[in-house]
Amino acid sequence: RWISWMTEFCWPMRVYIEDTDAGGIVYYANYLKFMERARTELMRTLGYGKPALFDGLQLVVHELNIKYHSPALLDDELKVSAELTKIGRVTFLMSQSIYRGDSLLVEGEVKVACLDALTKKPAAMPAPMYQKLKGLLG
């Protein structure tokens, strides 16, 4: 069962030389890293300092859909958003965008799943985490 809700979190970033190709354009896979950092920082604000691995469980990307509109360039200041749009007991869905100023560069939707760290099989989020996320619905 899904619970729908919306709350946006934004994380500022700058493009460094290691993020770019020889032409000074951000390498396409690095946008996924930028999105991961925003999701991680969102979870950190909720009290989960190491959200990828906790209590014998781990959060992993299960599905990803991404659309590139315009490239980011060396030294650009970016804003990376993470907006939770749905939550279930095992998975949650986030809409994410990357902006340079008011220009939308990249947008995507990421489905994150909770797994048992040993078996790598789906597992319910711990009740406190689920309740904290669900509580954002108001």
The enclosing H or E element of 43 equals: helix 30-45
pLDDT tens for the chain, 138 residues long, are 444 444 578 999 999 999 999 999 999 999 999 999 999 998 888 888 776 667 789 999 999 999 999 999 999 999 999 988 899 999 999 999 999 999 999 999 999 999 999 999 999 999 998 988 877 654
Catalytic member of 21, 55, 75, 116:
21
21 is catalytic: yes
